[in-house]
Amino acid sequence: MGWEYLVAGLALAIVLMQIVPLIRARRMRGRAVPELDAMLNDAQRGEERLLVYFWSPGCGACRPMTPVMDKLAAERGNVVKVNVAESLALARRFGVMGTPSLALVEGGILKQLLVGARSEPQVRALLLG
């Protein structure tokens, strides 16, 4: 009889682990972004709209997404890759709680913070607005 409570508690914990990062990501919208100048090249500093891609080497969902982001960065120039293992403090200031995550920045304001993998068409649509 006690195992039902254990299973229900475990299911609740799993659901909360999925929902909490999404709630925190939504709360970050509209806030000024942390200083990115050290990570940007000259062309990116002039961009009004940037997409910041947070990834980590041990992230399974990042493996198929990283080549897509590399391709978009080469094409458009307004994509910034941030390795969370090397820039943990920056990821925390953005409110990133999991990888992969995408932060859409417009005019120095965080417009969206998306947690989880996205397809190439989804990322392109995000970049185009």
- Which one from 25, 51, 59, 68 is the annotated catalytic residue? 59
Report the relative pairing of strands 79-83 and 49-55 from DSSP bridges: parallel
Tell me whether residue 59 is one of the annotated catalytic residues: yes
CA distance 23 to 76: 30
Please report, for residues 29, 39, 46, 80, 93, the alpha-carbon distance to residue 109 in angstroms, rounded to integers and kept in the order given.
Answer: 8, 17, 15, 15, 13
- Which one from 33, 50, 52, 62 is the annotated catalytic residue? 62
121: preceding bond cis by omega (within 30 degrees): no
Tell me whether residue 62 is one of the annotated catalytic residues: yes
For the chain, what is the total number of helices (H) and then of strands (E)?
5, 4
What residue has token string 């990834």? 55
The DSSP code for 115 is E
| Catalytic residue numbers, as ranges | 59, 62
